[in-house]
Amino acid sequence: MLKVTLDLRCNVCGGERFMIPTPNDQEQDVRCADCHAFKCCSDALEETMASARRRLPHQDQWGYLAS
Ligand SMILES: [Zn+2]
């Protein structure tokens, strides 16, 4: 799993950090890194992550890879 900070808010604790599954992980759910609440399926976040990666060099509102 990758711990990432995204421009998204956990709807339980309001946290911005999420655990993102890698292709090798059995579990493919995206969960809040703080309270472990189920956030959404990884497919739904795929485009967000792609956007985040494209924006990484700028360290802007999409946040950064924390791990
Ligand atoms: Zn949370």
- Average pLDDT (15-35) is 87
pLDDT in tens, 43-65: 556 666 676 666 655 555 555 55
Domain boundaries, the chain: 2-58
Q: Which of 58, 66, 61, 62 is nearest to 1 (CA)?
A: 66
Residues with CB in 5 Å of ion ligand 1: 10, 12-13, 15, 32, 34-35, 37
| Three-state SS annotation for the chain | CEEEECCCCCCCCCCCEEEECCCCCCCCEEEECCCCCEEEEHHHHHHHHHHHHHHHHHCCCCCCECC
If you measure from the C-alpha of residue 34 to the centroid of ligand 1, how many angstroms do you get, rounded to a whole number? 5
- pTM of the full structure: 0.57
If you measure from the C-alpha of residue 18 to the centroid of ligand 1, how many angstroms do you get, rounded to a whole number? 8
Determine the Cα–Cα distance for residues 63 and 38; give it in Å rounded to an integer: 20
- Average pLDDT (15-33) is 86
